[in-house]
Chains A and B, each alone.
Chain A
Amino acid sequence: MMAKAPNRREFLCSTGSVAAGLATSGSVVFAPDYSWALSPTAIDAHTAQTLLVMARQLFPHDRLGDQYYAAVVDAVDKQAASDAALRKLVAEGVARLDGARGIRWVELSNGARSAVLKTVEASEFFSTMRTATINNLYGNPLVYRFFGFEGSSVEHGGYINRGFDDIGWLPNS
């Protein structure tokens, strides 16, 4: 019995970065299966794709689809619309990534992309993107529930009757 050949998405997953396989068309970044798209207004499609790949490269979770990382890019794009300094920071940051190895950063291998990122760790671009990713990825209620953070509890009456003290594995002595 032959193993089923991986489809494009599974193949890309196995490389450790789905986002690197995203298509761009004009100003739009598409999911490989066209299940969602990112339409930035303040940044161009290549920049958006680069930031999307970068967000996953920073905090890669197999359990998360690209749409959650796209929300990070969306937030950066929205802020950039009214923030010229951020637009410049992002444009220069992406140019620096692309200039590192002679081919565009998103087209590098996973390992090479990480190695390049390592060289810009101290830059403002990097820390801005890291913070933006943390806030907009891990701060997204659709994401944090995947990790066991349950978010707002007051509307459920807190945890007084919902397991605040339900730990079961502690030793007796």
Chain B
Amino acid sequence: MAKAFDLKDDSVVVVIGSGAGGGTLSNELAQRGINVVCLEAGPRLDITDIVNDNATMFSRLSWLDKRIGTGDLNAALPLWVCKTVGGTTVHWAGASLRFQEHEFRARTVYGNIPGTNLLDWPITLQELEPFYTRAEDKLGVTGTHNIPRLPGNNNFKVMAAGAKRVGYTQVHTGNMAINAEARDGRPACRQIGFCMSGCAIGAKWSTLYTEIPKAESTGHFELRPDSMVVKINHDASGKVTGVVYADKSGALQEQKARVVCVAGNSVETPRLLLNSQSSKFPNGLANSSGQVGRNYMRHMTGTVYAIMPGRVNFDRGTQMAGIIKDESRHDPSRGFAGGYEMETLPGFGLAGVASNTIAGAWGPEYAKVIEMYDHFAGMWLVGEDLPQVGNGVTLHATDKDQHGMPVPVVHFKDHTNDIAMRNHAYKAGTAVYQSLGATQVFELPPFPSTHNMGTCRQSDKAQDGVCNKYGQAHDVANLFISDGSQFTTGGAENPTLTIVALAIRQAEYLVNQLSRKEM
């Protein structure tokens, strides 16, 4: 039974965002009897709104409010994230990997790399392990806790055969939050394809049809879709007291709160803090360190497509159920710090392949490439990029959105380490396909960023970051960062599992704090 809370009810925890961080946190709190109001900027879709059409779902799910990308993000769409209930868990591919032990100690292990703002996490893998376990159980991650792996599709079989030929050994269908067998009310995957347009049968974990309805059934949770938070208010002591949001009609409302948790993804989270500046917090809320909006990371990414000697039909089946892990280690002898994963990735339909395979290409030769569509194989390369103080989110001085909120400017430039890693990864991916006689191989530059991290990072010392190891703001005790923004560094792994593990851990911390009336 969904609940409705009064705007003046200052006993509620307000969670901003309903994706991997916000949706999970909301449910974890509600399950423990904490009253939660979740404000989601996007609309609430039903699973029947999810169709197998890339273009339709792109416009239905994507965050298309104006964002200005600069540096390497100078594109019409700098980021590809979602504005919908469930957030980017509707769009994500489902890859659920734990960070490696050394990735929590990147500054110590990688050393002082010029141009970076590296820092060790204030937590260790050991501390997070119990929460990774709970996260894997919640998501039903294949290959963990005796949950069977998915069967491999054609695109995986090509990658695996090539991997074997070049000598890779850690190759399987991944750790996926997609059911191989029915589990927790979700059906088994039917190898539909289109995972990233939303799973039309709900075999893939998304907060849209897991955490959100589960939270609603507790009677301690209210979801307000179409509610864009524009400001967080505070009192004279510096504690936050509520949030101002634009409702569906555009009218501004204030919801009172005893605790505010921000999970708007790594652009909107710092944007909101920066826009909540006041005479007490002139540089933005929780920003005494000056680190709000800084150290934006998006992962080193790239894609390799290859035309194979036979038919592949790479769009058939689970899109990212396939991984080569051998390159994910930290091995500076390769010429860069950190590592990367190689994961299967098909095209986004024929139109996607035509627009992405060679940017800007046209004419008879390129038409012949497109005619080989059913012979394409593809993989995504995703690795650790390093935090840089100049990469980040700022507010545009004059340009405002439909709610009068300054448009975010997102700046990103690759570090030389990112470039060296990408070049290594392109060669490695190419070798996999060439070992099987690929007739043509294409190296595609990064797509609009889907992994966004680090703009409100965790730090041991208040001067180095925005929040502590529980995501609690150093400057404001009842303000929490609850999404990938809190990542101190990015690791090589797709971030969702870590976001979920941190949200479960944060919920436990919050429940303890609230029960001890420390907030």
Contact = CB atoms under 8 A, between A and B. Distances in A.
Given A151-B52, A152-B52, A171-B436, A59 B362 contact: yes
Contact of A149 (B152, B165, B315, B317): B315
Given A16-B364, A138-B354, 11 more contacts: A58-B362, A59-B370, A134-B351, A139-B349, A144-B351, A149-B374, A150-B313, A154-B201, A165-B154, A167-B310, A169-B309
Interface in B403-435: none
Contacts of A134: 351, 354-355
A79 B201 CA distance: 34
Interface residues of B, number: 46
Which label, helix, strand, loop or mixed, suits the secondary structure of the B interface? loop
A34 interface: no
Interface of B: 51-53, 55, 151-154, 157-158, 161, 164-165, 189-194, 200-201, 309-313, 315-317, 349-351, 353-355, 360, 362-364, 366-367, 370-371, 373-374, 436
B161 A59 contact: no
Contacts of A150: 313, 315-316
Complex A-B, nearest 6 residue pairs according to Cβ-Cβ distance, in ascending order: A148-B374, A158-B190, A169-B310, A152-B52, A164-B317, A158-B192
B371 to A, nearest CB: 6
B350 A164 contact: no
17 contacts: A16-B364, A59-B367, A60-B367, A131-B355, A134-B355, A135-B55, A138-B350, A138-B354, A144-B351, A147-B350, A147-B374, A148-B311, A148-B374, A167-B154, A167-B310, A167-B312, A170-B310
Contacts of A158: 189-193, 317
Which residue among B164, B317, B436 has the maximum number of chain A CB atoms within 10 Å of its CB?
B317
Contacts of A169: 309-311
Contacts of B351: 134-135, 138-139, 144
Interface of A: 16, 57-61, 63, 114, 117, 121, 127, 130-131, 134-135, 138-139, 143-144, 147-154, 157-160, 162-171, 173
B380 to A, nearest CB: 19
A148 B371 CA distance: 9
B190 A157 contact: yes
A160 B188 CA distance: 10
A114 B367 CA distance: 14
B313 A171 contact: no
